[in-house]
Structure 1
Amino acid sequence: MNITRQLRHLGQSLWLDNITRGLLTDGTLEHYIQEFDVTGLTSNPTIFDKAIQNSDTYDGDIRGRAGAVSSDEALFFELALADLTRAADLFRPVHDTSGGIDGWVSLEVSPSLADDTAGTVQAARALYGQAGRTNLFIKIPGTRAGIPAVEETIFAGVPVNVTLLFSREHYLAAAEAYLRGIERRLAAGRDPAVGCVASLFVSRWDVAVQDKVPAVLKNRLGIAIAQRTYQAYRELLASTRWQTLNDAGARPQRLLWASTGTKDPEAPDTLYLEALAASQTINTVPEQTLLAFAEHGRLSGELPVEGGDANALLAEFAQTGVDIDILAERLQHDGVQAFAASWQALLRRIASKRGDG
């Protein structure tokens, strides 16, 4: 049994953190589905900016649709949905056979809405309706304004990928928003089966402290945060509150490991895939990480449900002056800013290819 299939048998889904039109047209994504058991896909503004920058396959659509849409933003969403609906159709068989648990693709709302709760809900509903695919997540950041938007969007029946989560506390806030949205749907007599995932970013922790901790602690903080969060996730799944919703027909909000490409060239390129093997989770990986794992990845065990040595490790980081609560907020803020910058670069690129700049 190949290594990616071992992950699937363990109970973890493997998703691709990338999309380009080339992946769709040359059969590469289908190959990943068949050979590497890839069962979903995520995207973000940076991914689309690189896809449009590095290929001329979007140019004809950009020029051809430029006069028919109201803005560069609207044009981008047409381009993105053309790709993502095609990908969603490729994943539809696994979506159906898994009862809606797996087989998803993700599209992010405009990062310019990061502080706008009502605008985020409105955009999420509009994009989901425009896509016309039941297996499309709308990505909403788990920020102060984003968390209430998650609850309202779930209540509206729109599937959500809660993104830019960096800590156990961020995850618990996202889980609470999901639970409230589902509980409100049940109280209103609506179907509680609305998909949701909570995306915890991992590698950025290690980048943030790389030059601030001794060598023995390098590339260990992100995994410790993930262990701690996984413990909270499994405790929630075992709770009476969740079991009540599960019995009523709700789907679990699955925990997703994001930002799992290794950033340190001295660390193994499959570090986070091997360390975060865990049942009832998802790992979304860059293409090069997927290929590396398929070639030489190894599994040595499963992430411990009770958190393993996370607390002891985090205590060691605290002794070096790392305040994980403060750092989590900074990482989330920086993540929002980075996506906003990518978003503006993306819109400028579209304007340039359209011929206006």
Structure 2
Amino acid sequence: MQVEMKNVTNKIKTICNLIDYDEDFHCLDGTLCTKENLKTVLEEMDVEENDVILTFYGGHGSHAPNNENDPWPQYCMNTGFEDQENWVPMAALANWVQVKRPRLAIILSNCCNVVQRATTVKPLWAMGGDYTSLNGVNADNYKKLFATKGLVMATSSKIPEPSWCNSAAGGLYTCDLIEALEMVGAGKIAPNWNTVLQKAYDLCAARVIIDKEGTRHKQHPYFKVTGGQVSITDNDRPRPDNRPRRDTNPLSQALLDIVNKKTDQTQRLSMIPDIASRHFDSISKVMTVGSDMETVVDYENPTDFLRRICLSPFIVQVNVISQEQGVLTVHEIRTR
């Protein structure tokens, strides 16, 4: 679901900035969500020994009968039952990722372990209609979480359960996982993957889900963490040239540059005409949305938007959420 992908994208981009990691983001949505495209993206990755690869799948999933030795679902991708040769088993994806030899591999999914559709209530965490505040967020906790080595796998339901969702917020387990990650930043739970996934499990398993017919259901995620020990220290993390972190998306990089408080504000203001001409030629409006990815906080022309985020003393990051029909949708991260 689009809102689910927006929520996950926003959270991962925010964490990347907090832990000061370079970012190479790929989204395979709609007709682009194919087995062939997924394998191509992975094969073309240039992975170094301290890199982290994180994948997230949100969509239809299934599980073969009489195959309980494999607890993980199969991703249906952009196909139906008549085209199962193009489905991707989650366990196979984990193997493809590990072939690239990243320091840490994180494979997450929100999909059924049987085929079933469902909707339910919107979770409370997604009610926010404003920007994301970093006030009270401890970046060091996220640095510890992502400094580990190993394989992390989690899916939203065990065999043979469906995974429940809501049209306004996406998969319920995805919401629980994001809430658990937010608790890491707030210091409410320990920064290790077993703790994070156990908390997401507890939140999900405690929920009583009532479908449109009034039938009550429960959902139990499944996860496994291999390794998990801290493998890099603070001395390993800084880049040799002490440069700012980089984003492989040119527009996202331009927005990082214009809110980078280490650069003189006058110099950043002088960047606006060039950024506007290079990246906003096909964009007529910029829509800033709240943390629910739906509430419109601001609606501006590109130049006004660029000037505002440049002059703001509190905006430290602007996440690109989507770009379609001449409108760029973004979400702001502020210190307060």
Asked if Structure 1 and Structure 2 have the same fold, meaning a TM-score greater than 0.5 normalized by the shorter chain, the answer is no
Q: What TM-score do you get using the length of structure 2 for normalisation?
A: 0.28
Point out the structure with the larger strand share: 2
Point out the structure with the larger helix share: 1
